[in-house]
Structure 1
Amino acid sequence: MAESPHIAGLLHAGLLVSDLAHAQAFYEGVLGLAPCPRPELPYPGIWYDLGGGQQLHLMRLPNPDAAAARPEHGGRDRHVALGAGDLAALARRLDAAGIAYTTSKSGRAALFCRDPDANTLEFVEHR
């Protein structure tokens, strides 16, 4: 067997967005993320530092899946899981912003919501 490449972690997740200002209002205004430096690239975008060398990259590019149907519960869709220190506080922020979410079907301390472009985000309680 060939030598293992030893995958060491997830460095960033990239999500496609159609309206950068609308996405920014969600990620910064609702979730409380702060943008970090981004290199000059041939398309608009915003990067967020999630700590531990991990980032979330928003890219305003055409979405080939924009018209695809999504399941009602985000946990049954492709998604990015993020650690959250206080799920109850996050749920209150989502409620205040009128953003629908569902809780984990497995009973774990987790909830799922969609950003303005229907990208699914999972939040797992992580202290």
Structure 2
Amino acid sequence: MPDSLPSGQINGLLHAGLLVSDLARARGFYESVLGLKPCPRPELPYAGAWYELGGGQQLHLMCLPNPDAGIARPAHGGRDRHIALGVKEMAGLKSRLDAAGVTYTASQSGRAALFCRDPDMNTLEFVEIR
């Protein structure tokens, strides 16, 4: 943490946690389609998987009951709660999503970004960062 930040200043996002109903299915999506590699996680009273995203940031999948299951979601993921992940080359990601039959939509802002949903309807935004 830089010394120039005031005491108590928020200085980063360490992880995002997503609820999943079927860990094997979710891992198939995050590992096979998105290409994430699992990292160690502590013993917890529920199943899950953690992924290192770089820069000390992680994505945590938690196999727990979802209080929002069955609630209608907006058609475009950018109008729903979501997490944004950086991607180096959008074309490669699009190819993997297409090959897996994953539907996605382009950002309506005109940015080099797209949105998709995982098998549990969690929304993911991918922003091209070169």
Shorter-chain TM-score tier: over 0.9
**In the alignment, which residue of structure 1 is the partner of 2:3?**
none
Q: 2:33 aligns with which of 30, 35, 39?
A: 30
Partner letter of residue 119 of structure 1? Answer: N
1:18-49 per-residue CA deviation (whole Å, 9 max, x = no partner) reads 00000000000000000000000000000000
Does residue 124 of the first structure (1) align with residue 98 of the second (2)? Answer: no
Does residue 72 of the first structure (1) align with residue 72 of the second (2)? Answer: no
Which ranges of structure 1 fall in alignment gaps of 5 or more residues?
A: none
Looking at structure 2, the residues matched to 52 and 4 of structure 1 have their Cα atoms a distance apart, in angstroms, of 22
1:67 Cα deviation after fit: 1.0
Alignment of 1:1-127 (within 5 A): 5-127=8-130
1:46-83 per-residue CA deviation (whole Å, 9 max, x = no partner) reads 00000100000000000000111101100000000000
Q: What is the root-mean-square deviation of aligned Cα atoms in Å?
A: 0.9
State the number of aligned residues: 125
Which ranges of structure 2 fall in alignment gaps of 5 or more residues?
A: 1-5
Task: Provide TM-score, normalisation by structure 2.
Answer: 0.94
Q: Secondary structure at the match of 1:28?
A: helix
Q: Secondary structure at the match of 1:98?
A: coil
Looking at structure 2, the residues matched to 19 and 75 of structure 1 have their Cα atoms a distance apart, in angstroms, of 24
Between the aligned residues of both structures, percent identity stands at: 76
Task: Provide TM-score, normalisation by structure 1.
Answer: 0.96
Moved over 2 A (4+): none
